[in-house]
Amino acid sequence: GAGVSQSPRYKVAKRGQDVALRCDPISGHVSLFWYQQALGQGPEFLTYFQNEAQLDKSGLPSDRFFAERPEGSVSTLKIQRTQQEDSAVYLCASSLYETQYFGPGTRLLVL
């Protein structure tokens, strides 16, 4: 079946702009995760949803970052007033049991 999809694949934003990143999980997967991966580093956890409930947002770096999954399927990660340090790859993953399956990521560049 179809894997996790993310859009856009690439996003260039001017500092101060708001951006919205979309994640379509694997159909039927209850759990959805967002990660941030800086260049040359491993991914770092941002937030976790079980269905529509956001159960853990401990990794969100500031209140400029906001995530939602209103119907328990598609999720959106929103970054307000982007800053240069927000430049990274944003990965979404979904799971039914233990194993998380990742999407291709959105590469965000803030100029």
Partner 1 sequence: AQKITQTQPGMFVQEKEAVTLDCTYDTSDPSYGLFWYKQPSSGEMIFLIYQGSYDQQNATEGRYSLNFQKARKSANLVISASQLGDSAMYFCAMRLPSGGGADGLTFGKGTHLIIQP
Q: Collect all residues with Cβ–Cβ distance below 8 Å to 52 and sequence separation of at least 6.
A: 69, 70, 71, 72
Member of 89, 90, 108, 110 binding partner 1 (CB under 8 A): 89
- State in angstroms the smallest separation of the CB of 37 from partner 1: 9
Site for partner 1 in 47-86 (CB under 8 A): 47-48, 50, 55-56, 58-59
Question: Taking the complex as a whole, how short is the minimal distance between the CB of residue 1 and partner 1, in angstroms?
Answer: 15
- Tell which one of 19, 60, 79, 93 touches partner 1 (CB under 8 A): 93
| One-letter amino acid for residue 49 of the chain | F
Q: β-strands 10-13, 106-110: how paired?
A: parallel
Q: Which two tokens stand for residue 99?
A: 């194993």
* The only residue of 91, 94, 108, 110 in contact with partner 1, by rule CB under 8 A: 91
| Cα–Cα distance for residue pair 85/105, rounded to 1 Å | 17
Q: 40 or 70, CB closer to partner 1?
A: 40
What are the residues whose beta carbons fall under 8 Å from the beta carbon of 63, sequence distance 6 or more? Answer: none
In the complex, the residues that contact partner 1 under the rule CB under 8 A are: 33, 35, 41-48, 50, 55-56, 58-59, 89, 91, 93, 98-105, 107
